[in-house]
Chains A and B, each alone.
Chain A
Amino acid sequence: MAPWTTDELMIVCMAREVENGDIMAQGLTTPMAIIAYYLAKATHAPEASIMQLAGNIMVYFDEPPQASILYNEYRAMEHAVHIFGQNEVYETIFKRADSIVEFFRPGQIDKFGNTNNSTVKAGRTVRLPGGFGIPDASPLYKKTLIYCPRHERRVFVERVDHVGGLGLNLGGATSGGREIRIISELGVFRVDGRSGGMRLMSLHPGVDVEDVLSNTGFELSIPENIPETPPPTSVDLRLIREKIDPLNIRRLEFLSGDDRLEALQKILDEELRIWRSSNVNRPKAQQML
Chain B
Amino acid sequence: MSLREACECISDGDVLAIGGLTIHRKPMSMLHELIRLGRRGLSLLVFGGGPDVDLLIASGMVGSLDAAYVGFEILGFAPNFRSAVERGEIKFTEHTEYSIMAGLQANLLNAEFIPSRLLLGTDVLKSLGYKTFKSPLTGEALVAYPRITPDVALLHVQRCDEYGNAKVDGVLAIDLLLAKSSRRVILTSEKIVSAGEVAGSPFEVNLPSTFVDMVVESPLGAHPTSCYPYYTYDLWHMISYLEYCRRGMVNDYLRKYVAGVESFESYLDLVGEDALSRIMI
Which A residues are within 8 Å of any B CB, using their own CB? 28-29, 31, 53-54, 56-57, 69-71, 73-74, 77, 83-87, 90, 118, 124-137, 162-166, 170-174, 252, 261, 264-265, 268, 272, 282, 284-285, 288-289
Contacts and interface: CB of A to CB of B under 8 A. Distances in A.
A127 B121 contact: no
Interface string B218-242: 0000000010111011011001000
B239 A265 contact: yes
B64 interface: no
Given A29-B73, A74-B232, A77-B228, A54 B173 contact: yes
Contacts of B48: 28, 54, 132
Contacts of B1: none
Contacts of B118: 136, 173
Contacts of A83: 169-172
A83 B158 CA distance: 15
B153 interface: no
Q: Which 7 A-B pairs have the closest CB atoms?
A: A172-B121, A129-B71, A133-B97, A136-B98, A132-B69, A130-B69, A173-B117
Contacts of B173: 54, 56, 85-86
Contacts of B123: 118, 162-164
Contacts of B159: 288
B121 A173 contact: yes
A130 B176 CA distance: 23
B231 to A, nearest CB: 9
Contacts of A74: 228-229, 232, 281
Given A56-B172, A85-B177, A272-B278, A129 B69 contact: yes
Contacts of B21: 53-54, 56
Contacts of A132: 48, 68-69, 96-97
A154 B204 CA distance: 49
B170 to A, nearest CB: 5
A287 to B, nearest CB: 9
B67 interface: yes
B197 interface: no
B82 interface: yes
A209 B48 CA distance: 39
A136 B96 contact: yes
Contacts of B98: 90, 133, 136
Contacts of A261: 239
A85 B24 CA distance: 14
B68 A130 contact: yes
Contacts of B182: none
A68 to B, nearest CB: 9
A128 B121 CA distance: 20
Interface of B: 21-22, 24, 47-48, 67-71, 73-75, 77-78, 81-82, 85-86, 94, 96-99, 101, 105, 117-124, 158-159, 169-177, 226, 228-230, 232-233, 235-236, 239, 278, 281
Contacts, number: 160
Q: Which of B69, B86, B118, B236 has the most CB of A within 10 A?
A: B69
Contacts of B278: 272
Contacts of A85: 172-177
B239 A90 contact: no
A57 B169 CA distance: 10
Contacts of B175: 85
B96 A135 contact: yes
Nearest to A166: B121
A267 to B, nearest CB: 10
Contact of B101 (A87, A135, A164): A87
Contacts of A53: 21, 24, 171
16 contacts: A29-B74, A53-B171, A70-B232, A71-B232, A73-B226, A73-B232, A74-B281, A85-B173, A86-B101, A86-B173, A86-B174, A87-B105, A124-B86, A133-B96, A172-B121, A261-B239
A131 B124 contact: yes
Contacts of B171: 53-54, 56-57, 73, 83
Nearest to B125: A135
Contacts of A57: 170-171
A129 B96 CA distance: 12
Q: Which of A53, A73, A264, A289 has the most CB of B within 10 A?
A: A73
A90 B99 CA distance: 12
A171 B121 contact: yes
Given A87-B177, A265-B239, A69 B229 contact: no
Contacts of B120: 171-173
A84 B68 CA distance: 19
Given A132-B96, A172-B121, 14 more contacts: A56-B173, A57-B171, A70-B233, A73-B24, A74-B229, A77-B170, A85-B174, A90-B97, A90-B101, A131-B69, A136-B99, A163-B124, A173-B119, A264-B75
Given A54-B21, A129-B78, A288-B229, A135 B170 contact: no
Nearest to B117: A173
Given A126-B86, A288-B230, A73 B121 contact: no
A132 to B, nearest CB: 4
Nearest to B277: A276
